[in-house]
Every structure is written in structure tokens, then in C-alpha cells.
Amino acid sequence: MNDRIPRTIRIDDGWSIPAADGVHRRTLVEGTAWSVPVIAMSFATPAAAASGTPTLKFTKSSYSGKACGTITGVQVKRTTDGTTADSGKTITVTLKDGYTFRGGTTTYSGTTNAEGLISLPDIAVPAKGGNSSFSASSESLSTSAPVAAATETPGTPFSNGTRVTGLPSGVKATQITRENAGGSLYIYVRGDDGLIYRSINSAALTAVTKKTSDDGSDTTALAGSLYASAQGEQFAYISTAGVPYNQASALTGLPKGVKAAQITRENAGDNLYIYVLGDDGLIYRSKNSSALTAVTSVKAKKGSLYASASGQQFAYVSEDGVPYNQASAMNGLPKGVKATRITRENTDTLYIYVQGDDGIIYRSINSSDLTAVTKAKADDGSDTTALDGSLYASSGGEQFAYVTKAGVPYNQTTALTGLPRGVKAKQITRENAGSLYIYVLADDGIVYRSVNSGALTAQTSGGALEGSLYASAKGEQYAWIGPAC
């Protein structure tokens, strides 16, 4: 009765359906022009069979904490099929980006209980906070969960590794200095309330400036303006109104309308020398607290004023990139190269270091022409040009240190070792105190130390405020601003 119905339905070249009424449960397979059509059979899979895949998951989709805090109750679950607990299996969890388990480790392994769960030890959030992820693995299974912790601005002052107390509740440190004088230790801290605080011999900090003067004018400190003499007990700063202060006394002499932008204060013998860079670009000097008078006529680049630790000398960079020793322009920079930073120190001999915008460090001895003392590339071809602003000269004078643009710390022309893989230096100091002490603040927020050119080792646990590292002129001591934990 169906003999007239074709047994094969042609679609086009190379395709056919071997049934009168369609494919049913069959799949078409393309053949060549000369091949016999092929029928591939496919069978439906029962829904229950798809759930037989083992799973590994954190019990929460994400986690959160706060800087210096602790995350508790983290669990990971393994199942045989998405539902049934898989007990007796080992799960390993790994942390990164500064998150650690109790005791400081970053890896933990545990065996699943009857519910297929492992419970993790408390997890410490790094001082810097930040986003990361928790990773878990078990045999061929793996999973991860994001974790977030708001980054908290560091604001706790530290002398070496010891917290300096005394700041009022809610006040954060923004700048710190640390010097010794006559057997006493003087630490100065600028708070974000604009006041300067002092600690003597590790006592609690107490305010040594006020918010307003007797006439009601604002005397709070301009951010970054605190300067401590290398001799230790004295300090200077600039008010937010642009008035320069020697300790708690306002200095006079700036022309009407001119505001102080940078200040230094050093002693040389029985004389006190204070230098002020005005926002008019000129440098002014006060000797023994006299009125400020201009000592330059060429405009200085903002922030370039440098006073020798020995006191009466200064150096600066002009707005057009020419380095100056006192009021005299220096020679020796290659044509087209501009100075970006200058230092000037005496040790019987006068050493001046200049960082050029080509990333090279140049040196002058006893006012000779500047000559290059670093190279653009190391012998292995790596970039050794200096990170802008990283040049540091020992208060003793003849030695220097810097950080390359690649984040490698250098003592003179020798790269320092010891930073963890992937960590880059951001700031460096170098001072002598019988031994050579080099401190490096890295981009992981940790302060590292090298003694006598040894490998750098971590001195802090992280979270340091960028740029807050301060090394005493005496050498072995340092200060910094870190987290509350």
C-alpha cells in the first residue's frame, strides 16, 4: 500500500533522510558525493544522569572584610553529584594578595566531614585591604570565591617597629620625622587635623602647635611641609595660609602676597639657617631667626629646595631645569638634559648629586662639572634609569641611592637583592651609623632593610603610607606611617 512512497528523501547533494516522514530520533550526517548516506543515532539522556558530576564550592558566593580585620566561618563543600556530601576528601585552599590564615600561612588543607565540608581557620585581612580571591582544589576539581576589603588609609605613626601613641582619637598621621639629639629621641608627626605632635624618648605624642594664633589666624600645618633638623630637637613647617614657622613662631620677611611653599631648617655651629621657597619661585633665608631675605633671583622649580644637613648651604633646580649650588648655576649636564632633583652634602668634601630627566644620576665634587655616575642600562640590558624623585643622598654626603623605573633599589651603582618576586621599590633611604643601613619602602607596603649591603629583609608587615618612610640622619633608626593593626 505504501510502495509508491519513496524510501529515501533527497534534500540536496550529499544529504538524505532515510524515512518518509522525517528524522525522528536520527541525526543527519553529511557524506561525500560518492558515499553512502550515514545515519547517526542519538539517544535522549535521562535528566537524573546529568547530576552525577562531583562539585566543589565555597558555601558563600563572596566574602568581605576590612583592613586589619578577620574573616571567619569560611567553608568549602564537596559533593558527589551536586547534592550528596562527599566525605573523606582532601581540599586545599590557597590565599594571596596579603590575605593569610592564622599563623601567617597562605595554604590550608583539610578533610571533608560527613556533610562534605571543611571549615577554614580565621583569615587575616592585610593592612592594605584590597580585593582578592580564595582558591580551593580537590583532586581534579577547583573553585574560587571573590573577597573584598575596603582599603583603609594608613595613619598610625611607627618608630622602627613600635607604634607611637598619643594622637587624639580619629586623628591620622600624614607625615613623620625621627632624629636623635644629645642622647634624646625626637619624633614629630603631622596629623590630618593640621597639628604637629612631638614625642621625646618614646613618650606619648603631644601637640606642639595650635590651630589658630592669638590673633585668630589659621596656624594649621600645610600637608607635607613638616621639616625636622638633622640635629633633632627643632622643627619647622608652613601653615595652610602659607606662613613659614620656626617651631611655633611665625617668620617674617616674605614680600606681601608671597606664600611659603617649602621650608628647611638646619644648624651649623651656633647658627640657625632657615630656607624658604616662596610661591614666587625665589628662595629666602633667615639666619638666627632674623627676617627672611631673598638669596636667589632665578625662579626655582617647586619642591626642589635642598638644604645640607650641615646647615648653611643650599641647592635647588630652576624652573627651566638648571641645577644650582647656592646661587651659582652648575655645568656638565648633557645638552637638552634638565635636572629634576638635586642634593648637596659636605664631608670635608662637597658632593652634589643631580637627577636628570634622562634618568641618569650626575655628580659634582667640590663644585666641579657634573659627570654621570649611573648608566641607562645594566650589563644584562635591563633599564637602570632612575625613578623620578627617588634620588637619596646620605647626610654624610659622598654616598647615594636610588630606585630604577623598573622598581629595583640601587646602592650607588649596585642593585640590592632581597625583594620578593614581583615586588617593586618605591622609596629608598641610605645612612651610615658605624654600619650602612638602607631602607626601602616597596609597593607591597612593607619596609625592607639592608645592613652593610646585605640582602633586603622585611621589617614590617605591610600597609605603609606611600612616601612616609623616614630615616634618621644617624642611620640605623627609621620611622613610617602604617595601619592600626
User: Taking the CB of residue 233, how many other CB atoms lie within 10 A of it?
Assistant: 18
**What is the reported pLDDT for 348?**
85
CATH 2.60.40.1930, the chain: domain bounds:
52-150
Tens of pLDDT along 252-265?
999 999 999 999 99
- What kind of architecture, by CATH, is found in domain 52-150? Sandwich (2.60)
Question: Taking a C-beta distance cutoff of 8 angstroms, is the pair 232, 191 a contact?
Answer: no
Mean pLDDT for 34-57 is 56
Q: Cell digits for 346?
A: 659636605
**What is the reported pLDDT for 152?**
77
* pLDDT at residue 197 greater than cutoff 60: yes
Find, among 281, 178, 166, 283, the residue nearest to 226 by Cα.
178
Q: Which residues of 394-433 are buried (b: 16+ CB within 10 A; e: fewer)?
A: bbbbbbbbbbbeebbbbbeeeebeebeeebbbbbbbbbbe
* pLDDT at residue 235 greater than cutoff 90: yes
User: Taking the CB of residue 163, how many other CB atoms lie within 10 A of it?
Assistant: 10
Tens of pLDDT along 355-397?
999 999 999 999 999 999 999 999 899 999 999 999 999 987 7
pLDDT band at 462 (very low <50, low <70, confident <90, very high): confident
pTM of this structure: 0.78
Beta strands in 224-313 (DSSP E): 227-228, 235-238, 244-246, 249-250, 260-268, 271-278, 283-287, 293-294, 306-307
**What is the reported pLDDT for 51?**
57
Find, among 229, 382, 388, the residue nearest to 311 by Cα.
229
Phi and psi at residue 179, in whole multiples of 5°? Answer: -140, 155
pLDDT band at 126 (very low <50, low <70, confident <90, very high): confident
β-bridge pairing 63-66 and 141-150: parallel
Beta strands in 357-485 (DSSP E): 361-365, 371-372, 392-393, 400-403, 409-411, 414-415, 425-433, 435-442, 447-451, 457-458, 470-471, 478-482
- Angular region, 7: left φ>0, alpha ψ -120 to 50, beta rest: alpha
pLDDT band at 47 (very low <50, low <70, confident <90, very high): very low
Lowest mean pLDDT among 55-59, 251-255, 290-294, 470-474: 470-474
Q: What is the DSSP letter of 386?
A: B
**What is the reported pLDDT for 4?**
44
Question: Taking a C-beta distance cutoff of 8 angstroms, is the pair 59, 117 a contact?
Answer: yes
